Amino acid sequence: MSKRLKVWVSRPLFADALARLGQFVEVDAEPVERTHSAQDLRRQLAAVDGAIIGLADRFDATTLAGNDRLKVISNLAVGYNNLDIDALTRAGILACNTPDVLNETTADYAWALLLAAARRVGAAERWLRAGQWQGAMRFDDWLGVDVHGRTLGILGMGRIGQAVARRAGGFDMRVLYHNRHRLPESVECECAARWVDRETLLRQADHLVLVLPYTRENHHIIGAAELARMKRGSVLVNIARGGLVDEAALAASLREGHLAAAGLDVYEDEPVVHPDLLALEQVVLSPHLGSASAGTRRNMAGMAVDNVLAGLGLGPTAGRPPAPINPGVLDARRRGSKA
């Protein structure tokens, strides 16, 4: 009998997902959440044929150096800025992610942050829990920012951005968006959204939601200058990647009262949060929970398993992973060469 292939799972995963994976391969799954050093990653990857990994696991040419066994990895996320795709492709390693299954849940969470930030839910709850509500409040206490009837701006109108936009109809909002490329008219109609240039989006949005991928070009795409161009009293929500926002500049804008509030689920140096943001009551902070519903996380785990099995030529969709990032690797394998 031929030796079974081996897959490493870098973080705890649902037992049923691991059991399904174990029907086809030998599984080495981490029992607890922990940070893996570059040395740990290199050692683990040298001993396996596939891996299911998290966003905190960073893969570059150094991590992969000398590895001639690894065939496929799958991120437990839609984003993949932790992966050096060029290095993986040169090494003939298929990279996959888990898109689409988290669109609606992440859009829900964008609205949770938007509403909580606009209406000061976090600060008010902390005030209540501290025992400060001891009698009648002043009529002008805890005044937030209206959401209904205002203008929603979306920077990055992919599938998650579109899901955010579709929810705006229930709040009777005008929806503006900016992408590098305008969406088809049919999609704009479905989302009741209008394309504008980025400057117009910044000037006109009462609530601005960031849903674009992080790239070198997008680093600090919202900095001091962009924040200054936003409406006074507006709200910023970031559910995409922390590096999109200059966090020191955001804290300064909030401190000075130019922005009314912010809702953040992502940070530039996760899990570290900029201390200036921690000191501000106007910010709702959450620890990267956009996709964190039971159903969605199970779907993500299932897709990651499907990616790895298919990338190893196993299971019902052998050779056809649901979400390849560098599909040229598969074409090269069929030709018997590296991509």
> Catalytic residue at 268?
no
d(CA 151, CA 168): 9
DSSP 145-167: ---TTSEEEEE--SHHHHHHHHH
> Catalytic residue at 33?
no
**In a 10 Å sphere around its CB, with 0-12 CB exposed, 13-18 middle and 19+ buried, how is residue 35 labelled?**
exposed
> Catalytic residue at 220?
no
d(CA 193, CA 133): 41
Alpha helices in the chain (DSSP H): 15-22, 38-45, 61-64, 85-90, 103-118, 121-129, 159-167, 185-191, 198-204, 224-229, 247-255, 275-278, 294-311, 328-335
Q: Whole-angstrom distance between the N-terminal and C-terminal Cα of the chain? A: 31
Catalytic hit among 150, 207, 288, 297: 288
d(CA 191, CA 208): 16
List Cα–Cα distances, 293 to 241, 244, 249, 289, in angstroms: 19, 24, 32, 8
Name 126's Cβ contacts closer than 8 Å, sequence gap at least 6: 281
Q: Cβ atoms within 10 A of the Cβ of 178, count?
A: 21
Backbone angles phi, psi at 324, to 5 degrees: -75, 140
* DSSP state for residue 327 in the 8-state scheme: T
Catalytic hit among 36, 167, 241, 297: 241
d(CA 243, CA 267): 7
Count of residues making up the chain: 339
Task: Pick the closest to residue 72 from 49, 89, 91, 90 (CA basis).
Answer: 49
Catalytic hit among 166, 270, 298, 333: 270
Which residues are catalytically annotated?
A: 241, 270, 288
